[in-house]
Structure 1
Amino acid sequence: MTGQERAPLLEALNRFKDMRIVPFDVPGHKRGRGNPELREFLGEKCLTVDVNSMKPLDNLCHPSSVIRDAEELAADAFGAHHAFFMVNGTTSAVQSMVMSACKKGEKIIMPRNVHRSAISALILCGAVPVYVNPGIDRRLGISLGMSLGDVKRAIEENPDAKAVFVNNPTYYGICSDLKSIVKLAHEHNMLVLADEAHGAHFYFGEGLPVSAMAAGADLAAVSMHKSGGSLTQSSLLLTGPAVDESYVDQIINLTQTTSASYLLMSSLDVSRRYLALRGVETFRRVIAMAEYLRAEINRIGGYYAFSRELINGESVFDFDVTKLSVHTLDIGLAGIEVYDLLRDEYDIQIELGDIGNILAYISMGDRSLDAERLVAALSEIKRRYERDKSGLLTQEYIRPQVVERPQKAFYAEKEPVPVEQSAGRISGESVMCYPPGIPVIAPGERITPEIVEYILYADEKGAMLTGMRDASLKTIQVLKEG
């Protein structure tokens, strides 16, 4: 990599600070002077670079100087043809790549266990999903990746599809055979889009699954703020050489803010430089910590911290060993119950708890002392709270019954019905536990008794259910009949 020691946007912001410019522009806090409470909370250093787009600092809507230079360095570091800085989160990056690939009525092949942002993209642009049901690990109750055979079948049955969408990896670290999917899709003139919300480290670590750009994907949405170390809400949208980046730029500007945060953009610039120069050694430590924690948690007994032993060459083609996913049902506790106990009783905040598992996100900022604290807490939770596991739900992924395309269902006439009485009706909204934000039901899908049971059970266990118009979670919006 050439020039990766530079951070053009950071350098420009430092020059700007030295100029002592009098601000008669926005933001209105005027470098923090207008809001002492905000300055005290965030600090003067932070607020002096919370500035507006101006000539010396470039403009994210049409980069031509320092932002352009920073994006070029990011593209080089990630092995992409072009990199777009995204400040509306990876949600915006996912939506932009779907809308860049598909127009209204065009098909896109995707796994059903996509993030809500992908379903929202279908609602926004009117594309039609061709769902490939992921594999399921029935013991763990989690969805896996797409097998190459299932993708091949979907392509052959839908030769007019415009793109194939792949999770790389899933929240739990599961990877599909991305290289082979790319080869197959390109042979049928389809683009490949990768949701790499949880895969920024693939570009810099050793012994990790293949990154989207290395596999030849056309577009990839990368959450730098997750494993990449930048500020929350900052992300990258990477493109390959076959993509018209000027068109992607137009799509991005349909929804991305015209008041891009320089705090977010500079964090992308600084984090890219850090990963390019120190990423290999950084993620070597992350992997070592995750492997240590996995071994220690499995030594407790009752828990199952799973890893590469799940690889089967099909629905689990590879596994991201930085993901510390732990199955909890064998100690008689749902994952969300262990999640709550860790936070409420031990002051430990993990990433998620679902019906059967927890996920602790291991990254560059974790310390050995904190790792030991997590192991000790899990051991004590088992000792204090272990019970018989009968009566616990085990199934996380429920195969959907698609009746109507998402956009049409979302904008159709709807009415609220009690969740308990909704089986058989067509959903007009999404319902999901967040995190991970994967809809258990999406607009246009038939609500089944299993889905009703899942929603009621998740609510009872204390999961954070989102997507429903009714904040009390008592009713769900369904399409009007007749």
Structure 2
Amino acid sequence: MVNQNSAPIYEALKEFNSKRVVPFDVPGHKRGRGNPELTDFLGQKVMDIDVNSMKPLDNLNHPKSVIKEAEFLAAQAFRAHHAFFMVNGTTSSVQAMVFATVKRGDKIILPRNVHRSVLNALVLCGAYPIYINPEMNQRLGISLGMSLKSVKKAINENPDAKAIFVNNPTYYGICSDLKSIVSMAHEAGLFVLADEAHGTHLYFGEDLPQSAMAAGCDMSAVSMHKSGGSLTQSSILLTNERVNPDYMRQVINLTSTTSASYLLLSSLDLSRKHMVLNGKEVMKRVVDLVQYAREEVNEIGDYWALGEDLIDGDAVFDFDQTKLTINTLDIGLAGIEVYDLLRDEYDIQMELGDIANILAYVSVGDRKSDLERLVSALVDIRRRYKKDKTGMWMQEYINPELVVVPQDAFYGKKEAVDLLGSEGRVCTEFVMAYPPGIPILAPGERITMEIINYISYAKEKGCLITGTEDLEVKKLNVLKEDGEY
């Protein structure tokens, strides 16, 4: 491990700001002078470092100096062969992994409960998804991890597949047996891609589930801004020795901005430094806070805060103890209803509310007093709003049937039909509740009455349904019935 005390991008920006450089380049606000209201809102320091690529500050698309040094330090910190700083969000990291391993007609094995960014990548590159439908926990209404039996079956039935994609951990903290999946995949010659958007902290804490790089995955997308403390939209793409870093940079540059934000880049640099130097202490504190809250919530009655008791050694190989997922069904309210109550009446903003659960994302910036306030609010909601749970939906995810390759469906001849009259048709767009951003329907999938009823129920309960051309989701785009696309 090299010296992790430095932050090359941050230090270069400080050095740059110490000079009286006259800016005849972009951005046009010229260190804030051209937009005083924005400068007053964000602060002069922010505007001073909102600069463009130049020789002293390097260039993200072709790094040679300070960005290259910062990425090297990140690779060392994450125990990876290479690290790429990403400023288009972890969506761009996920899509770069897919673009680098599969092209039109290639097969990629993946759980169906992936983030929309993965399926968007399939629409763009034309690869064919081999879905492993996830195991379900019926009481919680959530999908679990990938069972080894399902992975082995998919690999054996698709010997021509090029890659396998894994969520680890899921939004809810569920972890698969990554090491065994990697072993099976590599034996079959497949690349292993990991979506670790919710797992940055696994690299820095102790007694947490195994990280993707430690398990031998070939690539991993980590959202440094989620549990690592950097600014929103900043991410890191990690690769191991089986991936050519020069080719990977070319793939990344296909969709990467040529005007990378130094606000985001410096936040990645400083957050890496902070987590390396203080991560063990920080994550122990986070785990302790969540464990305290979990015990308090489970003492209330009717709520269920998920914990390690879910572990079964297979579909729930491990559990991320930093996740505070709370099932709300026994108080007769959908998770999204509790989510709305917490925000509107108690000024508490949760990360997620779905049909059955809420999720509090606890990380480096949280305090015990914040969790005490959440627990008190949940007690009050139970007292004021508890009702009979008869008739409530319990399932967060319905296994759809893939009929047409996502790219062919998305770009095919389509027509808009009423949601309630769309049964049996093939969807050409995404339909998802956000968060978590896992599609209820994706392009190329058959619409069933169960799915229609689920969408209607989610709308009724107040879920934000996104991805459709019709913003009110009264109509869905489907393939025309002449079968041409």
User: After the TM superposition, which residues 243-254 of structure 1 pair with which residues of structure 2 at under 5 Å, given as runs?
Assistant: 243-254=243-254
Once the 2 structures are TM-superposed, how far is the Cα of residue 313 of structure 1 from its aligned partner? 1.0
How many pairs does the alignment contain?
482
Show the counterpart of 1:126.
126
C-alpha distance in structure 1 between counterparts of 2:139 and 2:326, whole Å: 12
C-alpha distance in structure 2 between counterparts of 1:36 and 1:396, whole Å: 47
Show the counterpart of 1:101.
101
Once the 2 structures are TM-superposed, how far is the Cα of residue 291 of structure 1 from its aligned partner? 0.5
Instruction: Please list the CA deviations of residues 70-118 of structure 1 after superposition, one character each: whole Å capped at 9, or x if unmatched.
Output: 0000000000000000000000000000110111110000000000000
Show the counterpart of 1:480.
480
The one-letter code sitting in structure 2 at the alignment partner of 1:336 is I
Instruction: Please list the CA deviations of residues 193-242 of structure 1 after superposition, one character each: whole Å capped at 9, or x if unmatched.
Output: 00000000000011111000000000000000000100000000000001
Show the counterpart of 1:226.
226
Show the counterpart of 1:397.
397
- Structure 2 residue 409 is the aligned partner of structure 1 residue 409: yes
User: After the TM superposition, which residues 308-457 of structure 1 pair with which residues of structure 2 at under 5 Å, given as runs?
Assistant: 308-457=308-457
Show the counterpart of 2:46.
46
Instruction: Please list the CA deviations of residues 56-77 of structure 1 after superposition, one character each: whole Å capped at 9, or x if unmatched.
Output: 0000000000000000000000
Show the counterpart of 2:271.
271
The one-letter code sitting in structure 1 at the alignment partner of 2:459 is D
User: After the TM superposition, which residues 3-42 of structure 1 pair with which residues of structure 2 at under 5 Å, given as runs?
Assistant: 3-42=3-42
Once the 2 structures are TM-superposed, how far is the Cα of residue 174 of structure 1 from its aligned partner? 0.4
The one-letter code sitting in structure 1 at the alignment partner of 2:328 is T
Show the counterpart of 1:213.
213
Instruction: Please list the CA deviations of residues 262-319 of structure 1 after superposition, one character each: whole Å capped at 9, or x if unmatched.
Output: 0000000000000010000000000000000000000000100011101111110000
Task: Could you list the structure 1 runs, at least 4 aligned residues long, displaced by more than 4 angstroms after superposition.
Answer: none
C-alpha distance in structure 2 between counterparts of 1:156 and 1:371, whole Å: 47
C-alpha distance in structure 2 between counterparts of 1:448 and 1:208, whole Å: 39
Show the counterpart of 2:170.
170
C-alpha distance in structure 2 between counterparts of 1:235 and 1:290, whole Å: 24
Instruction: Please list the CA deviations of residues 408-442 of structure 1 after superposition, one character each: whole Å capped at 9, or x if unmatched.
Output: 10000111111111111000001001100000110
Once the 2 structures are TM-superposed, how far is the Cα of residue 395 of structure 1 from its aligned partner? 1.1
SS at match of 1:291: helix
With normalisation by structure 2, the TM-score equals 0.99
Q: CA RMSD in A?
A: 0.5
User: After the TM superposition, which residues 79-228 of structure 1 pair with which residues of structure 2 at under 5 Å, given as runs?
Assistant: 79-228=79-228
The one-letter code sitting in structure 2 at the alignment partner of 1:143 is S
C-alpha distance in structure 2 between counterparts of 1:40 and 1:181, whole Å: 51
Show the counterpart of 1:289.
289
The one-letter code sitting in structure 1 at the alignment partner of 2:475 is T
Of all paired residues, the percent bearing the same amino acid is 66
C-alpha distance in structure 1 between counterparts of 2:419 and 2:4, whole Å: 53
C-alpha distance in structure 1 between counterparts of 2:403 and 2:472, whole Å: 27
SS at match of 2:27: coil
Q: Which blocks of at least 5 consecutive residues in structure 1 are unaligned? A: none
Once the 2 structures are TM-superposed, how far is the Cα of residue 397 of structure 1 from its aligned partner? 1.2
C-alpha distance in structure 1 between counterparts of 2:93 and 2:44, whole Å: 31
Show the counterpart of 2:55.
55
C-alpha distance in structure 2 between counterparts of 1:169 and 1:400, whole Å: 22
Once the 2 structures are TM-superposed, how far is the Cα of residue 158 of structure 1 from its aligned partner? 0.3
- Structure 2 residue 65 is the aligned partner of structure 1 residue 65: yes
Show the counterpart of 2:466.
466
Once the 2 structures are TM-superposed, how far is the Cα of residue 153 of structure 1 from its aligned partner? 0.5
Once the 2 structures are TM-superposed, how far is the Cα of residue 461 of structure 1 from its aligned partner? 0.6
Instruction: Please list the CA deviations of residues 138-161 of structure 1 after superposition, one character each: whole Å capped at 9, or x if unmatched.
Output: 000000001011000000000110
Once the 2 structures are TM-superposed, how far is the Cα of residue 3 of structure 1 from its aligned partner? 1.2
C-alpha distance in structure 2 between counterparts of 1:40 and 1:331, whole Å: 46
The one-letter code sitting in structure 2 at the alignment partner of 1:156 is N
Q: Which blocks of at least 5 consecutive residues in structure 2 are unaligned? A: none
SS at match of 1:370: helix
SS at match of 2:156: helix
C-alpha distance in structure 2 between counterparts of 1:76 and 1:395, whole Å: 41
Instruction: Please list the CA deviations of residues 447-482 of structure 1 after superposition, one character each: whole Å capped at 9, or x if unmatched.
Output: 011110111111111101100000121101100001
Once the 2 structures are TM-superposed, how far is the Cα of residue 246 of structure 1 from its aligned partner? 1.1
SS at match of 2:236: strand
SS at match of 1:195: strand
Show the counterpart of 1:260.
260
C-alpha distance in structure 1 between counterparts of 2:442 and 2:220, whole Å: 23
The one-letter code sitting in structure 2 at the alignment partner of 1:405 is V
The one-letter code sitting in structure 1 at the alignment partner of 2:401 is Q
Instruction: Please list the CA deviations of residues 11-53 of structure 1 after superposition, one character each: whole Å capped at 9, or x if unmatched.
Output: 0000000012110000000010100000000000011000000
Instruction: Please list the CA deviations of residues 328-384 of structure 1 after superposition, one character each: whole Å capped at 9, or x if unmatched.
Output: 000000000000000000000000100000000000100111111000000000000
The one-letter code sitting in structure 2 at the alignment partner of 1:370 is D
The one-letter code sitting in structure 2 at the alignment partner of 1:334 is A
The one-letter code sitting in structure 1 at the alignment partner of 2:3 is G
